[in-house]
Chain A
Amino acid sequence: MWVNHRLLLPVFLLMLVMFVTCVALSTQAGKEIMDKTSAADLKFADGLGAWEQVYSVLTSPRCINCHTATTYPQQGDDRHRHFANVIRGPAGKGVPGLNCVSCHQSENADSTGVPGGPNWHLAPLSMRWQDTNDRPLSSGVVCRALVDRSRNNGLNAPGLLKHHEEEPLVLWAWNPGRRPDGTMRTLPPLTHAEFVAATRTWVDAGTPCPSAK
């Protein structure tokens, strides 16, 4: 019995050390997991914030006027229906006799106030960013449409970034030319560099979309 009592203290101390070590290790592991979770949350939040910046450009008149849900394009900062009975046509390029390129040439015509760019046309209906009453769709709806490869011409996330970086009609939004009265058309709310940077942040975060409708 005496021997047993003499062993009791070391055994107890050993168990205490082991317990403290386990607690310390588990706390460290938990901290690492928490840190990783926080970093992921932060990246996700950054991505969502960047998306809202992207959305602010997509729904600006220079972009959304050709992303309609109707049979016609829009024009102007008030996004009114395109004049002269212009219609979408089967391929988004108007109809024979009244094509987009009947007026819109490969570059802006500042002397006559007609905007232009390569292959001027409407976005497909799958990329509509408005409802049929010409109201912009919500941020979440546009986001989910944009990342849906069955609707976005098969673009993956890097493809979307490249589209925003290089597509001539996207670039036109930052060089929209002069109105017929000689004044400059308004620009999107971000510079092109800011737009691309926001798109990159959104893509790097995994193209998160707002969960709201």
Chain B
Amino acid sequence: MATFQLNVNGQSKQVNVDPSTPLLWVLREELKMTGTKYGCGISACGACTVHVDGIATRSCVVPVSLIGDRAIVTIEGIGQDPIGHAVQEAWIEKDVVQCGYCQSGQIMSAVALLKAKAKPTDTNIEESMGGNLCRCATYVRIREAIKSAAGQI
């Protein structure tokens, strides 16, 4: 076990965990921030996506020991960001969500895309969102919502 000081959504959090623990389980089990979801556990589905220093990161495969002092932003904090807020509003406007399980990861990846490319093309969206799976197949509405959010930014 080791103690780690984490910067999560702008707040300092201290956890005492095994260094090999994936960030996802530190968020969910130690910090009780359950908005970030466990999907596949091998970074194949994107449900666990958070931002680490602005980079969309699959928290299920990153040991907490490799986070260091980098800033973590989760679905619980992304609404504080103007682009994050615009994406969440667009998600509501387009009624994207079906079961909703993958959607926090979808939103985190969409925000990362829009921060890098304000007016993404369909190809940009397909490429950037290609690592986020949705078993309810909400892909068309996700694309519409990203374009809608882009129009609001």
Task: Kindly state the separation between the CA atoms of A97 and B127 in the bound complex, as whole angstroms.
Answer: 9
Question: In the complex, what residues of B have CB within 8 A of residue A116's CB?
Answer: 66
The answer to whether the Cβ of A96 comes within 8 Å of any Cβ in the partner chain is: yes
Q: Which of B46, B63, B115, B116 has the most CB of A within 10 A?
A: B63
- Cβ-based interface call for B61 (8 A): yes
Complex interface bits, A142-165 against B, C-beta within 8 A gives 1, otherwise 0: 000000000000000000000000
Instruction: Give the distance to chain A from B102, nearest Cβ to Cβ, in Å.
Output: 14
Interface residues of B in 119-153 (CB under 8 A from A): 124, 127-132
B42 touches A180 (CB 8 A): yes
Q: Is B57 an interface residue (CB 8 A)?
A: yes
Interface string of B66-80 (1 = CB under 8 A from A): 100000000000000
A103 and B109 in contact (CB under 8 A), knowing A97-B131, A111-B22?
A: no
Question: Taking A105-B62, A109-B61, A112-B63 as contacts, is the C-beta distance between A96 and B115 under 8 angstroms?
Answer: yes
Is the beta-carbon distance between A112 and B61 smaller than 8 angstroms?
A: yes
Main secondary structure of the interface of A (DSSP, over half): loop
How many residue pairs link A and B with beta carbons under 8 A? The number is 84
Q: At the interface, yes or no: B60 with Cβ under 8 Å from chain A?
A: yes
Contact count band on B: 20 to 34
Q: Mark A110-123, 1 if CB is under 8 A from B, else 0.
A: 11111010000000
Whether A84 contacts B128 by the Cβ 8 Å rule is: no
Q: Is A102 in contact with chain B by the CB < 8 A criterion?
A: yes
Distance between Cα atoms of A180 and B55 in the complex (Å): 23
Q: Given A86-B131, A87-B127, A109-B62, answer yes or no on A96-B117 (Cβ-Cβ < 8 Å).
A: yes
